[in-house]
Chains A and B, each alone.
Chain A
């Protein structure tokens, strides 16, 4: 642990002070949610400062917990204020008709080449874009099923690491492919979140 860690801690401490001061001064509830989300990034920064492989593995669950808390609080805010989804003409531009097929194909193919977390995200961006532009006709069950099997394969790969360490390459390939599917399935749900229906 060299000089970077204490310096980073000081920076984070300053950021926490600034963030909490802003939260105390802010009275609007929506802005307080946004500020809280910003403050939560600091928890991830504290983990990231450790800068080891283990810390890298800890950031993902920390991020997931933070996002789920943010979603829960946002739902409470929507229910509290009685907000409804705005009605109006759907957003359409020309590129949304011509581009989705080829762009989604390129991104998904490149994501499969990358594999793992990064590949999952890249492939998911393609899937999100496709679903947003072309609409979706209730493929949720398929996506959920694929995601569930991918999770099971991922866990199975960890059992290979634990009990049959000699077959580690096999385990790496299963885990890499499964996490690709898993992340992609999770993120492509985002593309279907804009109110539903064929016209976005």
Chain B
């Protein structure tokens, strides 16, 4: 796209596992992203939600908030599922699998946000859900156009340079990932960063960031 030699973007491959023409691989770039996602998934597994304290203004009194165990369990499950989907999106060597993992990140992000029962938070989660659903049109559409125009979904073959991927397919992929990874912007609108379950909210940001980094690599390399 910017006349970059494609082999130099991700670096040399570290590990290759072939399933037919679909090749799962690690380059230094994706391996770094994978390790980053892995660290945060482990953090989501081992961390405990913070217990918040509200101080009564002008005195020594304070309230401690209790964390509902059911809510905690649901949020932690969603955070771990989000981490696993992100890990999958980092290692996959198939364009359609990447779009599926991106959609799964979108679903789990809705789950993480919607676990908190507050009207404003639920409103934001609803709006984000609509956007994430609409984003699956360009996301799957992009993968379908790649398949229609080149006859393969394997990144290994698409990155080779022999195939010409139409610009509209790349644009659709980026647009779709933008929609699925948009959760942090809605989070900022909602007051969820002040809600309980703070460590799990991190997963929303991490997954969104990593999805953007990965789709950038894919689109530039194709």
B130 contacts partner chain A, Cβ-Cβ < 8 Å: yes
> CB-CB contacts of B16-53 with A at 8 A, as 1s and 0s?
00000000000000000000000000000000000000
* A73 & B133 in contact (Cβ 8 Å cutoff): yes
Which residues of B are found within 8 Å of A75, using beta-carbon distances?
114
Size of interface on A: residues with Cβ below 8 Å to B: 37
CA distance A50 to B137 in the complex (A): 15
Give the Cβ gap from B26 to chain A, nearest Cβ, in Å. Answer: 22
Measured CA separation A49–B147 after assembly (Å): 11
CB distance from A141 to the nearest CB of B (A): 20
A89 to B84, CA, bound (A): 45
A61/B137 in contact, CB under 8 A: no
B126 with A77: CB separation less than 8 A: yes
Interface 0/1 of B133-149, CB less than 8 Å to A: 11011011101110110
Is A87's beta carbon under 8 Å from chain B?
no
Task: Give the residues in chain B near A83, CB-CB below 8 Å.
Answer: none
Contact B107–A66 (Cβ < 8 Å): no
Segment at the interface with A among B1-9, B57-65, B115-123: B115-123
**Inter-subunit contact B114/A76 (CB<8 Å):** yes
Q: How far is the CA of A52 from the CA of B144 in the complex (A)?
A: 11
On whether the beta carbons of A65 and B126 are closer than 8 Å, the reply is no
Interface of A, secondary structure class, is helix
A193 and B133 alpha carbons, distance in the complex (Å): 24
Are B130 and A36 closer than 8 Å at their CB atoms? yes
CB within 8 Å of A: which B54-84 residues = none
Chain B residues with Cβ below 8 Å from A55 are 144, 147
Stretch at the interface among B98-106, B156-164, B205-213, B214-222: B98-106
Residues of chain A with a CB closer than 8 A to B100's CB: 61-62, 65
Contact A65 B130 (CB under 8 A): no
| Contact bitstring A37-49, B, C-beta under 8 A = 1, else 0 | 1011011101101
Name the CB-closest residue of A to B123.
A80
The interface size bin for chain B is 20 to 34
Is B129 on the interface with A (CB-CB < 8 A)? yes
Q: Across the interface, do A66 and B130 meet the contact criterion of CB distance under 8 Å?
A: no
CA distance A54 to B104 in the complex (A): 21
Question: Is B117's CB under 8 angstroms from A79's CB?
Answer: yes
Residue from the list A49, A61, A72 in contact with B129, Cβ < 8 A: A72
Contact among A44, A49, A58 with B96 in the assembled complex (CB-CB below 8 Å): A58
| With A65-B103, A73-B130, A76-B126 as contacts: A49 and B148 at CB distance below 8 Å | yes
> Given A73-B129, A80-B122, do A39 and B137 touch, yes or no (CB 8 Å)?
yes
Residues of A contacting B96 in the complex (Cβ-Cβ under 8 angstroms): 58, 61
In angstroms, how far is the closest chain A Cβ from the Cβ of B24?
A: 15
Q: Which of A50-71 contact B (CB under 8 A)?
A: 50, 52, 54-55, 58, 61-62, 65-66, 68-70
**B interface residues with partner A (beta carbon < 8 Å):** 96, 100, 103-104, 106-107, 110-111, 114, 117, 119, 122-123, 125-126, 129-130, 132-134, 136-137, 139-141, 143-145, 147-148, 153
Closest 10 CB pairs of A and B: A73-B129, A43-B140, A80-B122, A46-B141, A65-B103, A47-B144, A43-B137, A46-B144, A76-B114, A50-B148
